[in-house]
A = this chain, B = another copy of it.
């Protein structure tokens, strides 16, 4: 890339970081834990969120969702069916969410009324890694169907994550998923990365994930 473009990109990211910092303070002040979910397209973010919203609802926790997509409000409609407040961000071709898009979609929401705010990012293992959304927890999903090598091929995403959710574990046998190789690759890019295996279809791992969220909420929010 030419130096001028690099400079513009740095300015964009710096501006984003400043706004993300403001958002993070606002979220902490409201006592809401904000979780940014990132992954490839089709790794199972939406189904995982459906299960999570229902599990949190059963525990009397209040959760809301901002869901990002290039086009369509399919996911917002799916997630809205759980009864949780859900808003869609259509990026119209932009390959990631940024802090400005998030800030703009918070209007009129009383953040203090939520225990959790989930942000489902655009399905993309590259670009969302560079954009801080003011979240307290970043979760990278890796489905067993994608191949065990993804962490080393897309290292920034997994390096910047607080947790890896290995999804669709019910398909592990059908895909001949090599667990040891996948964990080796996750740990190669981030030695201390916490990993939880899940199956949203078979409700596997949801309890462990919800406990993880509760722990994070306890330790991060004021």
- Mark A residues whose CB is within 8 Å of B: 1, 4-5, 8, 12, 40-42, 69-72, 74, 93-95, 122-127, 143, 145-147, 149-150, 152-156, 168, 171, 174-175
Q: Contact between A127 and B125 (Cβ–Cβ < 8 Å)?
A: no
Instruction: Identify 15 new A-B residue pairs, CB closer than 8 A, beyond the known A40-B42, A70-B154, A174-B174.
Output: A4-B8, A40-B123, A41-B125, A41-B146, A41-B154, A71-B153, A71-B154, A72-B149, A74-B149, A124-B125, A126-B127, A127-B127, A145-B146, A145-B171, A171-B175
* A8 nearest CB across to chain B (Å): 6
24 A-B residue pairings within 8 Å (CB atoms): A40-B40, A40-B41, A40-B42, A41-B146, A41-B150, A41-B153, A41-B154, A42-B147, A42-B150, A70-B154, A70-B156, A71-B155, A72-B153, A74-B152, A93-B156, A95-B95, A95-B126, A95-B127, A122-B126, A123-B125, A126-B127, A145-B145, A145-B175, A171-B175
When C-beta atoms are compared, the residue in chain B nearest to A201 turns out to be: B176
Q: Contact between A12 and B8 (Cβ–Cβ < 8 Å)?
A: no
For the complex, give the distance between the alpha carbons of A164 and B127 in Å: 24
When C-beta atoms are compared, the residue in chain B nearest to A98 turns out to be: B1
When C-beta atoms are compared, the residue in chain B nearest to A155 turns out to be: B71
Shortest Cβ-Cβ A-B pairs, 3 listed: A42-B146, A145-B145, A95-B126
Kindly report how many copies of this chain are found in the complex they form together. Answer: 2
For the complex, give the distance between the alpha carbons of A70 and B143 in Å: 19
For the complex, give the distance between the alpha carbons of A33 and B49 in Å: 43
